[in-house]
Chains A and B, each alone.
Chain A
Amino acid sequence: MAKYILKRILWMIPIIIGVIFLVFTLMYFTPGDPARNALGMTATEEAIEAWNAEHGLDQGFWVRLFNYYKGILHFDFGTSYTNGVSIAGEILSRFPYTILVGMLTLVIAVAVGIPTGVLAATHQNTWIDNLCMAGTMFFTAMPGFWFCLVMVMFFSLRLGWTPVSGYETWRHYIIPCVAMGVGSSAGIARQTRSSMLEVIRQDYVTTARAKGQKERNITYNHCLRNGMIPILTVIGGFLAFLISGSLVSEQIFSIPGMGVYMFKGIQQKDVPVVLGCTVVIAIYFCVIMLVTDIVYTIVDPRMKTAMISISKKVRKDGKK
């Protein structure tokens, strides 16, 4: 298993090189003049040229690409076109906020979503099931920002329980995480319900019942463990899109995270910022995928055998 994980980590290198190449090329060919954007319409030709030379934009495509790769090796993503601040530094200071909000959101989404799904499945076709499913429909259909705003209006403005926006104390995080978490729980709840309905019919559940096992243990221990793989896939998907998904809550609550940073970068055609964020997202994405796969094998031991044999098969095919 350790070998498998190591191999997966090594695989991340070519993937990231490829991603950088793609995004770099795309940004290179998109029209627009960053120097003019930065200096304004009234800037002289000389000023523009000087600016281009300063940022290395007077060189050819390949040289620039090579320099970019070289920078990344030293964790240097360059500086922002708009304000000249180091991008690596910005990312380092912003990433923790995004992860913090994301993880809290996920914890709430799981804590709400899984029990709701289980409840719906164990009461299939009763009013409880219908109520749960109507709830998830509602939260799937309603955009996240709407829910954020409703909560702010009620809890912050009317009741004054929580601050309206900011990121200084833990109380600032309550509304963003609860609002986004409850919204995201809908997908988890739906997947949990359908997984559980699948598992509840299985023979080994009857076996557990025949042993005299308690119904609660059967549901949460025997069934849920077996239905967990597709649920984990949904959670993995949520995590994978966490950085871009965090934009809404960061924007509304003025949290200085990755989402707003990248969004501003795109708006201002700040190429190095967009590139830097993309690289970080690519690395993050690979790590999340790997972690999800490892968690799969912990939840379902059959996955371990399957995964290792797949990687062996790939190696064999590669040799041919």
Chain B
Amino acid sequence: MSEIPWNVIAMQLFFGIALGCIFVLLSSGMSIIYGLLDVVNFAHGTFAMLGAYAVFVVVSLSDSFFVGIVSAVVIVGIIGMVIEFLLLKPLYGKDPLLPLLLTFGLSVAIPDFMKIVFGLIGKPISFPDALSGAITLGPLTLPGYRLFIIIFTLVVMISLWLFLKKSDLGMIIRASTRDSQMVQTLGINVSRIWTVGFGMGVGLAALAGAIAAPMMSATPDMGVDMTMTAFVVTVVGGLGSLGGAIVGGLFIGLVVAFTSYVASAYSSVAMYFCMAVILLVRPRGLFGEQGRE
């Protein structure tokens, strides 16, 4: 094998981080939902798909990609809260398998519904004009949109962190993740926190779907892969841990980027291989907490 030039490596690194950022957004949502509600959201990628379609619809109406992103989060977040309130709530405290079955059902039913409404063929979403160019950084030519993804994710994750650390609601969410019954005993209506948390979690999924959309166009079945990726990242990083979602997301992004460069057919195999190795070496994932209540 011939020597790989360093700027190719640097480019793959850059692509890997940009891809990883999408995974970070996706999996941090999954992690919040699991941590707070103990629900493994099988429909997580489905909500990302809804986010991509929301961008498609809003962009075709308003012609602004940024309005599209914001509306995607709001629309999907509200859909998520309604689903949690109407469908998931009655299942808590019963067989823990039931929420899993419900979200699995949603992951089948919602894409079918989207096929009826929007058709089988994917909807292309063009790059926003301001970001379609490239930025030259020394010998490297970095696609502007991917740079945007990285900066955007950084901003979102820092805001999320500040929200969880500094706000009252964030504090309640952190506390409820550990001991929701005690939080309720202190006078807080935890049931409402669960609704908000589910909305936030799928809102983050929608964000991932929305910013991924210009690179892959919105298709009804795009959620399947995204759910699987979110699973892999969450398992690698550790269930219910936000730090794990960040490290796991970037790690899997890099793995996929480098294997697709070397042997593109094996990129998802590599992802599952990493998951298997980490599970063997460290079953609770890189950042998983032990004995969470």
Partners in one complex: no
Report which B residues bind A (CB closer than 8 A). Answer: none
Report which A residues bind B (CB closer than 8 A). Answer: none
